[in-house]
């Protein structure tokens, strides 16, 4: 089954990583894949455009079926291979409600991290304002404190919505990204604990990004958030 899958991915992209974690969890190792370089703009190549008109990574095919948006790929794979590998959507209504909620909050978190870590990259020179970057940092800090609160209420050894689920698949790469760019372990102890709990999970370790896209705001772009 996995041999009929093809993933085009970029290293250090949380959306790409989510798909790779899901493929590992669903025991779909052996899928075809190709690492493309963001720096060389290979995500804008004809090879990507044929499958993904957005010229973005991940780009994913399963046989003739195309699903590119990362959360959509995860939902598709979990529903298509329900009884294979880890169960990534829990059965109980309460866990399911929480799972969908945290999963979607995790989707929206990306842009908030990017708005700080990649501020210069995303904003043309003449349009940059210290006040805007400061506001983005404050909004990100408020956001991350929310997650600290969520994790405060999670039972010891438990994950975002009880058992390991798509909520963690979507969220964890964002957390790893945040700590890679030097988010403070002291200011966000619950996030740091969550990171430690998951970083050696086999699916995550097996798909760990070999490198991260450098940010013009520095390798410690998140240190004072």
Instruction: Point out which residues pair with 159 in neighbouring strands.
Output: 162
Site string for a second copy, 76-105 (x = CB under 8 A): x--xx------------xx-xxx-xx-xxx
Q: By CB under 8 A, name the one of 29, 30, 37, 72 that touches a second copy.
A: 72
149 binds a second copy (CB under 8 A): yes
- Examine residue 132 and tell whether it contacts a second copy (CB under 8 A): yes
Find how far residue 97's CA is from the centre of its chain. Answer: 20
Neighbours of 152 (CB within 10 A): 9
Query: Does residue 69 belong to the site contacting a second copy (CB under 8 A)?
Result: yes
Cβ-based nearer residue to a second copy, 94 or 185: 94
Q: Does 49 bind a second copy (CB under 8 A)?
A: no
26 binds a second copy (CB under 8 A): no
Contact 68, 58 (CB under 8 A): yes
| Residue 54 or 205 having the CB closest to a second copy | 54
Using the rule CB under 8 A, is 154 a contact of a second copy? no
Buried b or exposed e, range 186-219, using 16+ CB within 10 angstroms: eebebbbebbebbeebebbeebebeebbebebee
Which residue, 139 or 179, has its beta carbon nearer to a second copy?
A: 139
Residue 16 binds a second copy (CB under 8 A): no
Tell me if 40 contacts a second copy by CB under 8 A.
no
| Minimum CB distance to a second copy, residue 105 (Å) | 6
Give yes or no for residue 107 binding a second copy (CB under 8 A). Answer: yes
Helix (H) or strand (E) holding 66: strand 65-66
In angstroms, the CA 17 to CA 19 distance is: 5
Closest contact distance (angstroms) between CB of 181 and a second copy is 22
Q: Which helix (H) or strand (E) holds 78?
A: helix 70-80
Of the pair 82, 205, the CB lying nearest a second copy is at 82
Classify 59 as helix, strand or coil: strand
How would you classify residue 148: left for phi > 0, otherwise alpha for psi between -120 and 50, otherwise beta?
Answer: alpha
Task: Give the nearer residue to a second copy in terms of CB position, either 163 or 214.
Answer: 163
Measured CA to CA, the distance from residue 88 to residue 96 in angstroms comes to: 10
Report d(CA 67, CA 40) in Å as an integer. 24
Binding residues for a second copy, rule: CB under 8 A, are: 53-54, 62, 64-69, 71-73, 75-76, 79-80, 93-94, 96-98, 100-101, 103-105, 107-108, 111, 124, 126-127, 129, 131-132, 135, 146, 149
């Amino acid at each position: 089954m996995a041999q009929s899958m093809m993933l085009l991915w970029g290293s250090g992209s949380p959306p790409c990583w989510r798909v790779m974690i899901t493929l590992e969890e669903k025991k779909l190792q052996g899928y075809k894949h190709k690492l493309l370089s963001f720096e060389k703009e290979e995500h804008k190549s004809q090879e990507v455009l044929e499958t993904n008109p957005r010229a973005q990574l991940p780009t994913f095919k399963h046989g003739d079926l195309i699903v590119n948006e990362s959360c959509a790929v995860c939902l598709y794979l979990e529903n298509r291979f329900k009884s294979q590998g880890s169960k990534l959507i829990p059965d109980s209504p309460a866990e399911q409600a929480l799972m969908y909620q945290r999963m979607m909050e995790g989707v929206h978190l990306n842009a908030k991290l990017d708005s700080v870590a990649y501020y210069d990259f995303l904003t043309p020179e003449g349009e940059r304002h210290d006040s805007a970057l400061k506001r983005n940092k404050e909004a990100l800090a408020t956001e991350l404190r929310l997650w600290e609160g969520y994790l405060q209420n999670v039972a010891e050894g438990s994950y975002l919505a009880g058992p390991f689920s798509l909520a963690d698949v979507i969220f964890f790469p964002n957390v790893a990204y945040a700590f890679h760019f030097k988010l403070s372990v002291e200011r966000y102890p619950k996030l740091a604990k969550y990171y430690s709990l998951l970083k050696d999970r086999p699916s995550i370790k097996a798909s760990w990004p070999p490198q991260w896209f450098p940010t013009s705001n520095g390798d410690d772009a998140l240190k004072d958030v």
